Structures are given as structure tokens and as C-alpha cells.
Amino acid sequence: MPALASDKIPYLAGGKGLALFAFRLFIQDVKDLVAKHVWPKIKEGLADADHNIRHHASERKKMLTSWEKDEFPLTWNSSNCQKGSYNKLLIILNKDTSKQTLPSLQHSSVQLSYHELGALLVKLAKSPSTSAARAPIKSKGFFSYALQMAYVQMKHQTPDHTNHEDFATEIFATMLKKMEIHFVPWNCDPSGRPGPNPSKVDPEWWMIIDRTKPHLNVPIPQSIAESSRAVALEVATANVSATWSIPAKLHQMQDLWKKTCRPDDWNIEHASLQDTGAGDNYKYVAETYEYVDNIFDCSKWQHHMALVWAILFSRVAPNISYRKADSKPKDQSEGAITKKIRDLPWVLPASKHRKGIKSPKPFVTMVSTTIIALRDPQSPLYQQAGARNGFGKEWSEKHSK
């Protein structure tokens, strides 16, 4: 994901920029909520005479300090958070000093999609008195005010013939995904702890966005750290919206085929856009990748299909090559060259020391981008295809390197 601070990213224009800064305040509110909740017990544990209790408190403090520094503290895992936020929270919120089990976080029975959560935020933005005491908004936090201001401005920016609530909902849903917010603090279930305000946000309860099924406690293998990773992996694997990586072997995919988010292997940087030629004629190449990067949504069957095909192709392409004598047909029309290439057999390389791309990652990004762009009338590639009578030599030139 590109750096969200950049003003040059198209999807941050207008309302999305407002949502970006509002959600940054939301993230800070969540950090404050968790820290205020756990710090008294951590402080008490650090002063305890029992060595095990002091050690447990020290581990919680260390993990809290690390989690508070994360730019994306509500994500399963990211390049900005190598150990994963979910398993950090497991340790931060764990009160068990016996080390017999490390439970998953308490998951609310409520299950909202990104769109549904976006719609809820719009509803709360319209009712300031309600939003002040309703999960996932922290009471007396900054996000409540930022949410209201962002919504008011979005109403002014709504395009003609568009419902402003639908417009704001779509922006909130998009930015929740872009900012890798995968779970949020929620309120306790009706069967949980009773209280005067059961809808008030509770740091002991979490709502997993697009959650698929509940999860069981996992016995500790050797240590709290290993246990947190085991529990986080179990929860993330079973949740279709949790980040993931393509395994080395296709038979290891199993339930990963059902994922509704892109794998970590999909990255626009793998497309090597810096190798694209200079000049206006080449602009549509980079613009196509940027467009697909912005709209890619694996919950849509067309995008999911493109990803599946790309994964399958990525496991074939690095292991085949053209025979050298056939690789560069010359002095023929484009149609004849295309037919000749299509008629070439797929063969194993003659040498294990051949040059060229061997990693499957670039193919995952490039193939899925091409398929999605060709099926989307709004994509730069689709719009250029008619005038260029195909992909265009600039596209072919970039992808033949």
C-alpha cells in the first residue's frame, strides 16, 4: 500500500482525505482506550513481589509500548508491524499469569462488512449525541468530532444525482480497507458483563470485520510469544478478510482460495513501473496499475477470478521459457508475431542458470491487473484498447522486458 501521507494519491482526493485524517484520530483513540484499560494492572504487576507476576507485567508493558508505536495497530499483519497487531493485543490484554492457555480476543457476535461499518459511521455522524457512547467510538475521544466534521464536508462534495449518505458510506468503507483496519473495539455481547450502557465500547471485546467463524483457545506450545503467534495465525487464516501470503505449494492454499482480500504478494512495486518508457504514450501503463490498485476488491467475483488465474499462472511462468531461436520473431506483422508466440510450446528451460524472472510475485500482480483492467470499461487500458487496436506497443514493450 502506498504511503497514506502523500497528497498525490488520487483516492485521497476530497472526501477520502477527510476520512483518512478522521480514522487516524480513531486509531489514536483506540490506542488510548487500550492503554488506559490495561496500564493500572500492568503497573500493579510490576510492583508485585512474585517474580512470575512481575515478568508477566513486564511482557505486557513491552508489547503495549511496541503496539502504540505501530502505524497500523488494527491490522493482522503488515510491513509496518512485523509481529502483527492481533498477537500483540493478545499479550497486552492477557491477564492470565499461569501461562496455561492464551485465549483469542473476545470476539463480538456482531459481524459487519466494511460497507455496513461505513453505513453505521454515517448514522453515528448524523447523531452526535448517540455517537458519543456507541461502539466503536470511544467516549470523549477526538474521532467523534472528526467524524461529524468529515461527514458534513462530504455532503458538500457529493456528486450530482448521488445520495450523500451512500457517497459517505462508500468513502468510509474504502478508507477502512486502505488503512488496514481489520478489527475494532466493540461492546460486550448481551450475555457478557452487564452494565448501564451495553453499547459502550469495551476494550475487552472486539469486532472482526467480515469475520467468518468463532475461534477456540489454543494451548501454549512453549511460550507466550509463540502462543500469541499461533492464535493470531489461526484467527487470521479462518477470516476471509485477514491478510495472507501465497504458500509455496498450491495444495497448501486450501481455505486461502476463499480470501476476499489481496495477498501480501500483490504489490504494485512488483510491476517494476520504473522500467516503463518515458513520454505521454506510456502514461496509460502506470495509470492502469494505479487504477487497479485502487479498486481491487476480491469480494467481487471478477476480481477474485483474476487473482486465482494470476496465482495459477505465477506457478507456471517462472518455470517455462521459449527456445532461444524462437524467442524473437522479426520482420513480421504484429498479427503474425502474436500468432507465432501463441503457437510456441511451453517448455522447461534448457539451463537452471537461465536469466530472467524466477519469482512468481511479479506475475501475481501483472496478470491479475491485466485481467481486471480488460474487463473494466473505466480502466485506462480498456479505454486505450480501442484506439490502439489491442494492448498497444507500449504495454507490450513494458511486459516483454
pLDDT at 121: 94
Give which of 154, 173, 174, 151 is closest to 162, Cα–Cα: 154
Would you say residue 138 lies in a domain?
Answer: yes
161 in the same domain as 22: yes
pLDDT at 342: 73
More confident residue, 112 or 390: 112
Instruction: Record the cell numbers describing residue 323, joined without a space.
Output: 527456445
120: confidence class by pLDDT, cuts 50, 70, 90 = very high
**Per-residue pLDDT reduced to its tens digit, 10-69:** 444 677 888 999 999 999 999 999 999 999 999 999 998 988 889 889 989 999 999 999
Which value, to the nearest 10 degrees, does the dihedral of the CA atoms of residues 301, 303, 304, 305 take?
80
Would you say residue 234 lies in a domain?
Answer: yes
CA distance readout (Å), 301 to 251, 254, 258, 298 = 22, 18, 11, 7
AA letter at 107: H
129: confidence class by pLDDT, cuts 50, 70, 90 = low
Mean per-residue pLDDT for 203-215?
A: 71
Give which of 90, 106, 326 is closest to 223, Cα–Cα: 90
Q: Phi/psi at 183 (nearest 5 deg)?
A: -150, 150
Is the separation of the CB atoms in 135 and 201 below 8 Å?
A: yes
Return the SS3 of 74.
coil
3: confidence class by pLDDT, cuts 50, 70, 90 = very low
**DSSP strand E in 135-231: where?**
183-186, 202-208, 218-219
Q: Is 371 left (phi over 0), alpha (psi -120 to 50) or beta?
A: alpha
Q: Is 115 left (phi over 0), alpha (psi -120 to 50) or beta?
A: alpha
Mean per-residue pLDDT for 191-219?
A: 63
Q: What is the mean pLDDT of the chain?
A: 77
Mean per-residue pLDDT for 374-379?
A: 90
pLDDT at 12: 46
Is the separation of the CB atoms in 374 and 385 below 8 Å?
A: yes
132 in the same domain as 31: yes
378 in the same domain as 300: yes
Instruction: Record the cell numbers describing residue 245, joined without a space.
Output: 501470503
More confident residue, 79 or 178: 178
The residue written with cell numbers 497487531 in the block is 85
pLDDT surpasses 50 at 349: yes
Q: What does the alpha-carbon distance between residue 181 and residue 81 come to, in Å, rounded to a whole number?
A: 13
Strand-pair category, 202-208 with 106-107: parallel
Would you say residue 320 lies in a domain?
Answer: no
Instruction: Record the cell numbers describing residue 84, joined without a space.
Output: 502483527
Query: Considering the chain, what percentage of its residues have pLDDT values greater than 70?
Result: 71
Instruction: Record the cell numbers describing residue 395, joined without a space.
Output: 504495454
Mean per-residue pLDDT for 362-391?
A: 87
Q: What's the structural domain count of the chain?
A: 2
CA angle 206, 18, 377 (to 5 degrees): 95
Query: Considering the chain, what percentage of its residues have pLDDT values greater than 90?
Result: 22
The residue written with cell numbers 467523534 in the block is 144
pLDDT surpasses 70 at 190: no
Last residue of a domain, one of 193, 223, 238: 238
234: confidence class by pLDDT, cuts 50, 70, 90 = low
Mean per-residue pLDDT for 117-123?
A: 93
More confident residue, 15 or 360: 15
209 in the same domain as 75: yes
My answer on whether omega of the bond before 263 falls inside 30° of 0, hence cis, is: no
* pTM recorded for the entire structure: 0.61
221: confidence class by pLDDT, cuts 50, 70, 90 = very low
Would you say residue 112 lies in a domain?
Answer: yes
What is the residue range of 129's domain? Answer: 10-238
310 in the same domain as 172: no
Give which of 279, 323, 310 is closest to 373, Cα–Cα: 310
365 in the same domain as 223: no
161 in the same domain as 80: yes
Helix (H) or strand (E) holding 107: strand 106-107
AA letter at 61: K
Per-state percent for the chain, helix, strand, coil, to nearest 5: 55, 5, 40
